[in-house]
Amino acid sequence: MAGNAVGLGNFLRFPAQAVQNGGGAFLVPYLVSFLLMGIPLLWVEWAIGRHGGRYGHHSAPGMLDRLGPHRWLKYVGVFGLFTNLTVAAYYCYIESWTLAYVFHSLTSTFRDVLPTEFFPAYLGMEEGSIFAVPGEAMLWFLATLALNVWLLSRGLARGIELAAKIGMPLLFLFGAVLAVRGLMLEPGADTGVVQSPLTGLNFVWQPQLGGLLDPSTWLAAAGQIFFTLSVGMGSIHCYAAYLRHEQDIALNAASAGWMNEFVEVILGGTILIPIATAYLGLEVVQAATAGGSGFSLGFLTLPTLFNHWGWFAPFAGAMWFGLLFFAGITSSLAMGQPLVAFLEDELHWKHERATLTFGAATLALGFVCVWLYPGGAFDEFDFWSGTFGLVAFALGEAIIFAWIFGMDRGWEEITRGADMRVPGFFRYVIQYVTPLVILVVFVGALVEPVGRWGAAVGSVFRGEGWPFSSTSVIGRVLHVGDDAYRWVDDSGELTRAFVQDATRLLLLAVFLFLTYLVWKAWRLREQVDK
């Protein structure tokens, strides 16, 4: 399971999120989120999955339906299909970047072209344009997606997980070598180094308690924890559904969670930021990650480091990006399984038809990310699916598990067959703390005001309305602070705001369509029962 959890989020997303959200200001909410939300939710999801598996369900709608008598429970499970499908769409695109970088490392492309120039050109970025038609990137994306669908349709995901047992330790080992080499870079002594890598490391680890009061930082921290642990996605549920009634979930979940944190914080946090700071400078790194997902940072900087490794450079690049591809594909395969399982279990589709449908849907959504990357569609996918969607689903399932399924049955489900003693206080954490913390983070991020909360309440009493911050969820939806907001500019060209709104509407349409499929599946079942 650790092989599934460890992926591109550990090495590419975490460092970028840390820089984007203030370094040390991000890290405290991140670590608190891991302890109070990540670990408890891992247990909750494994328990829901194993419980649902007993009734033949391998996806979230059916599993949540079994947690209580209410008809609406299954619709909360729609998130468990939606986040997997929509995250897989842009995740496979990033995965394809790693594959392309394997090729370009081996062909020594980066000896002649700086990665900071190569990468935007590879993505088809052009000054002032919101569209891109990057021929090579599309080919790699198609190849990556085809490989994912083929592995899923042939039922080879298990084989990949077994291969990950060799690939993952290699990735960790090579990551450690990179981290040490990166920290040894010195301005003046090493060509191209503009700043000490320790400046970047200091930015990440300098404690800044200001982040504790910023709901957006909490949302980003919780979102990163959920993304990296695959919590709030529905893929853990699917995996656990295949376990037997008495099989351990407590130790497996704890072990996978802590191993993931080891890789993310100790390795992931020590590779990219120091190296990127060394070659680009901290200010450029902050600018490169501002406002977006920041996945691109590793592709802009690491080949520069490898270039200084002489004859070994092509192999180092190929090995690093190849291992990243391997880590990525174990995760993307896990994302494909819940939707495929839903179509098979609930709509009685054949396996091949279900996997091809997943592939076609991922292709269509993925191409939106590819073509509208410069307009911000990719970042919209990452925020609404990879952060907001995960937190929303986690909130729903935490409340349902603790308060509808009930903590007595819930605790029995978590501890049955456990190969470790689960500390008793986690029962109260799962029942009270986790739902409450997620609720506070969720609502806080939804309505975060400009300035202090007290002043915002005063503003309401003065009849001036709630001053939504531009980083709050509602502020994003309303484009607060974007004075030039419009879909078409003076020259008749579509704007970035149009791409943002269109992407949001598309994601909403996908969610509603999945809700319809769930409704249809249960209607079919009722007809069969009659």
Partner 1 sequence: MTTAAWAMLAVTWAVISFFTIKFFVAVLRTPPSDDRD
Binding region for partner 1 (CB under 8 A): 24, 27, 31, 198, 201-202, 205-207, 244, 247-248, 251-252, 254-255, 258-259, 261-262, 265-266, 419-420
Measured between alpha carbons, how far is residue 5 from residues 109, 256, 258 in Å? 31, 7, 11
Contacts of 475 (CB under 8 A, 6+ apart): 448, 468, 469, 481
Query: CB of residue 6 vs partner 1: minimum separation in angstroms?
Result: 12
Query: CB of residue 166 vs partner 1: minimum separation in angstroms?
Result: 17
Query: CB of residue 24 vs partner 1: minimum separation in angstroms?
Result: 7
What is the separation of C-alpha 447 from the centre of its chain, rounded to a whole number of angstroms?
23
Query: CB of residue 262 vs partner 1: minimum separation in angstroms?
Result: 4
Query: CB of residue 202 vs partner 1: minimum separation in angstroms?
Result: 5
CB of 198 or CB of 319, closer to partner 1: 198
Q: Tell me the C-alpha distance between 225 and 255, whole Å.
A: 15
CB of 214 or CB of 261, closer to partner 1: 261
CB of 417 or CB of 467, closer to partner 1: 417
Q: Angle between the 115-122 and 297-307 helix axes, to the nearest 10 degrees?
A: 140
Reduced to 3 states (helix: H, G, I; strand: E, B; else coil), residue 449 is strand
Query: CB of residue 342 vs partner 1: minimum separation in angstroms?
Result: 27
CB of 198 or CB of 284, closer to partner 1: 198
CB of 257 or CB of 396, closer to partner 1: 257
Measured between alpha carbons, how far is residue 417 from residues 1, 56, 421, 521 in Å? 18, 20, 10, 33
Q: Tell me the C-alpha distance between 482 and 475, whole Å.
A: 10
CB of 246 or CB of 526, closer to partner 1: 246
Three-class DSSP labels, 119-177 = HHHHCCCCCCCCCCCCHHHHHHHHHHHHHHHHHHHCCCHHHHHHHHHHHHHHHHHHHHH
Query: CB of residue 46 vs partner 1: minimum separation in angstroms?
Result: 14
In sequence order, the β-bridge partners of residue 494 are 488
* CB-CB contact of 303 with 110 (8 Å): yes
Contacts of 36 (CB under 8 A, 6+ apart): 429, 433, 434, 437
Contacts of 332 (CB under 8 A, 6+ apart): 7, 88, 91, 92, 95, 148
CB of 286 or CB of 459, closer to partner 1: 286
Query: CB of residue 196 vs partner 1: minimum separation in angstroms?
Result: 9
Q: Tell me the C-alpha distance between 2 and 38, whole Å.
A: 14
* CB-CB contact of 93 with 366 (8 Å): yes
| CA atoms within 13 Å, Cβ hemisphere of 20 | 24
Question: Which two tokens mark 220?
Answer: 């980003």
Query: CB of residue 495 vs partner 1: minimum separation in angstroms?
Result: 41
Q: Tell me the C-alpha distance between 48 and 360, whole Å.
A: 29
Q: Tell me the C-alpha distance between 297 and 12, whole Å.
A: 7
Helix locations, 263-350, DSSP H: 269-280, 282-289, 297-307, 313-345
CB of 245 or CB of 486, closer to partner 1: 245
Query: CB of residue 461 vs partner 1: minimum separation in angstroms?
Result: 40
Query: CB of residue 226 vs partner 1: minimum separation in angstroms?
Result: 18
Helix-strand-coil split of the chain, %, nearest 5: 75, 0, 25
Query: CB of residue 25 vs partner 1: minimum separation in angstroms?
Result: 12
What is the separation of C-alpha 452 from the centre of its chain, rounded to a whole number of angstroms?
30
Nearest Cα neighbor of 306 from 410, 428, 191 is: 191
CB of 209 or CB of 484, closer to partner 1: 209
Query: CB of residue 203 vs partner 1: minimum separation in angstroms?
Result: 9
Burial of 72 (0-12, 13-18, 19+ CB in 10 A): exposed
